[in-house]
Amino acid sequence: MQSKDLQVPASTPFNRARAMFGEHFLGPKEVSWYFGVTYSQRERRKLGKIPWSEAVLLGCVGDHVLFAGYPLSIDGIEHRADEFYEKIKLDKSGRRNLFCSNNPTGDFRSKEKVGLRWYLIRKWWHESLDKTYIEQEKLFGANKERPRACEVVYLTILLYLKTNEVLFAHDFVRCRDPYIPGMEGSHIGVGLFDRSSYGLRVVRLSDDPRRRLGEASIGTVSSRLPGR
């Protein structure tokens, strides 16, 4: 007999979630098409159900994007997303500039990879503006977390390729990746998506909101934890 304390994780069928989110649903089909990757049968089975209840998803429709992850790093995305460069009319010689503004280097570019799971990420969070990293952390609560730079880059490019919707055109998202691992003071930021010249920028951001990059606002976005 099943214990009363044993709870089955809430989930929503794939097709129901697609119908709810419309263009803001980016499944394995879209990921495979735009990034040129192939999910195995085992990987597809793992993504067969969405790990949130229908009630949670309904509360996120409109200001969140629901998308399937695939193990790609920022470098991996850059090397695969040929259609992205063509869409924003970026010459091949400018490709390395797409993700190298302010020259941030480190493991976050090559070793940090998007997870093989579903993501539910908010498109923007006005309440997070003009706050320090620690002040922003207090906004998340128990069911949300700050995304990594690879996850924000993946979402931004994938959504644009499918819908032409531009996220973070005038803003930076302060991500979870520290600029220097183990040291406080600055984190990696993603934003200022300019289709006509520089593309999507990945930069070093100070944790002090007074130290801006030009006129760009610095905020963050939230990623809903699976099953919460």
What is the mean predicted confidence (pLDDT) over 178-190? 85
Query: For residues 194 and 155, which has the higher predicted lDDT (pLDDT)?
Result: 155
Q: CB neighbours of 21 closer than 8 A, spacing ≥ 6?
A: 57, 61, 65, 66
For residue 18, being part of any structural domain is answered with yes
For residue 4, being part of any structural domain is answered with no
Q: CB neighbours of 210 closer than 8 A, spacing ≥ 6?
A: none
Q: Is residue 77 predicted with pLDDT exceeding 70? A: yes
With 0-12 CB in 10 A as exposed, 13-18 as middle and 19+ as buried, what is 124? Answer: middle
For residue 2, being part of any structural domain is answered with no
For residue 64, being part of any structural domain is answered with yes
For residue 7, being part of any structural domain is answered with no
Q: What order do you get walking across the sheet with 217-219 strand by strand? A: 199-206, 186-194, 171-178, 217-219
**In terms of residue numbers, what domain contains 139?**
12-224
For residue 3, being part of any structural domain is answered with no
Quote the pTM value: 0.89
What is the model's pLDDT at position 15?
92
Which of 35, 151, 126 minimizes the C-alpha distance to 85?
Answer: 35
Q: What is the mean pLDDT of the chain?
A: 85
For residue 6, being part of any structural domain is answered with no
Total domains in the fold of the chain: 1
**59 pLDDT band (50/70/90 cuts)?**
very high
DSSP 176-210: EEESSTT--SEEEEEEEEETTTTEEEEEEEESSTT
Measured distance CA(72)–CA(179) in Å, rounded = 20
Q: Is 80 left (phi over 0), alpha (psi -120 to 50) or beta?
A: alpha
For residue 217, being part of any structural domain is answered with yes
**pLDDT tens across 84-96, in order?**
666 665 555 544 4
